[in-house]
Amino acid sequence: FPAQVDSGLIEVVSPSPSYYPNLDKLRITLGDSPERVRWRSKQNLDFAFLMSYSQPKGELQAYFLLLSHPLDARSNGTFYVQLEDDILAKPSYVTEMKKFAIEKIARKEPWFVLDFCQLGFIGKMFKSAELPYLVQFFQMFYNDKPVDWLLDHLISTKSCNWDKNNDYCKRDKAKVWLHYKPSLFQHIGIHSSLKGKVQKLKDKQFGKIPLFFPHTNPEAEVVSGIKHYKQYTLERAYLGETFFWGLLPQPGDQLLFRFSQPINIKRFYFKSGNAEHPSDKLYNTTVEVLPVVDALLYATGSGGGGSYNLTTDGYIVVGKSFITILRLINVGLYSALQIYHLSHKQL
């Protein structure tokens, strides 16, 4: 995302190594293994660092945690939202979060956290001006408990009267920890950055996740050697009726689309894997097109489309290595295309 980085929309930040204590000499707490204590302690300090970095400058900021390394998605703002890289978000989630927060402020309703997801620390919104409370608390107790437990303890400390019973405490916490329903985020990752940790919990408030969106494509003959599962054929997927679900591709397998008439394509959109089956993707795959004109024109750059890699059978490679959940790729060719296909390679 070079354009987004250059514009400042995305900032990648990393603390100095001296920011962390010796993570191999932590106290063992809660009966956890040394590896788990190290992992959650570092996560607490990572969150504290991100929050320290976030001082009010703009309007809204969302921070992501990518494999326990901080990735800042927007420069500092009025509100701070903690997200992760392995989640689904509902459409217009930024608008919904801002609207909910501004409504509470306009009504002078006190709140410390607005919760847009019921799982862990995902989707927790804070006022940037109040982040120092969290930073100090997380840095004081980073070695003791996971970050979501520390958040609960912090709000209990700020809200609860210790002369009252637990029911009063829950009621008082609920006044400043407000939940938005239905949830705007769903956790879809299974394997944690902590080796061996598997997380299969789902937010029941998120609702049903769309697995397919109707669409239209140019008329074409569709060919594939990959056997489909049940009614999820490649033909129906291309017609926009459902998604394609096939058996594990083997080296040399391909999905081929031969257009009825040569057609100019500016870009194509391909999505591999979905929320219910995130690992069912086309890995090690190239996207190739066959132009009407001699493909060698594009290899030398004299055909107007720039310099491209060619296959031995005359196809132009316009995309490769689908290891993400979706891709939108500009084709950038001036010639009409006869065939478009995806080929699974052996690495």
> What number is the average pLDDT over the span 316-343?
63
Percentage of the chain modeled with pLDDT above 70 = 77
Q: Which band of pLDDT confidence, cut at 50, 70 and 90, is reported for residue 254? A: confident
The C-alpha torsion from 165 through 171 and 177 to 179, rounded to 10°, is 130
Q: Pick the range with the lowest mean pLDDT from 86-90, 95-99, 319-323.
A: 319-323
Name the residue ranges covered by the structural domains of the chain: 2-187, 220-344
Q: Model's pTM, two decimal places?
A: 0.63
Residue 324: per-residue pLDDT: 46
Whether 11 shows a pLDDT value over 50: the answer reads yes
Whether 138 shows a pLDDT value over 50: the answer reads yes
> What number is the average pLDDT over the span 315-343?
64
Whether 212 shows a pLDDT value over 90: the answer reads no
> What number is the average pLDDT over the span 303-313?
67
Sequence-distant (6+) residues with CB within 8 A of 240 are: 214, 215, 216, 217
HEC sequence for the chain: CHHHHHHCCCEECCCCHHHCCCCCCCCCCCCCCHHHHHHHHHHHHHHHHHHHHCCCCCCEEEEEEECCEEEECCCCCCEEEEEECCEEECCCHHHHHHHHHHHHHHCCCCCCEEECCCCCCCCEEEEHHHHHHHHHHHHHHCCCCCHHHHHHHHHHHHHCCCCCCHHHHHHHHHHHEEECCCCCEEECCCECCCCCCECCCCCCCCCCCCCCCCCCCCCEEEEECCCECCCCCHHHHHCCCCCCCECCCCCCCEEEEEEEEEECCCEEEEECCCCCCCCCCCCCEEEEEEECCCCHHHHHCCCCCCCCEECCCCCEEEEECCCCCEEEEECCCCCCEEEEEEEECCC
CATH of domain 220-344: 2.60.120.260
pLDDT digits (tens, 9 = 90+) for 44-78: 999 999 999 887 554 445 554 433 333 333 445 78
Residue 211: per-residue pLDDT: 72
CA atoms within 13 A on the CB side of 275: 16
User: In the numeric block, which tokens belong to residue 260?
Assistant: 């009825």
- pLDDT, greater one: 262 or 191: 262
> What number is the average pLDDT over the span 132-138?
95
Residue 190: per-residue pLDDT: 60
pLDDT digits (tens, 9 = 90+) for 141-183: 999 999 999 999 999 999 998 888 889 999 999 999 999 988 8
Residue 66: per-residue pLDDT: 39
Residue 277: per-residue pLDDT: 73
Among residues 117, 122, 138, the alpha carbon closest in space to that of 19 is found at 138
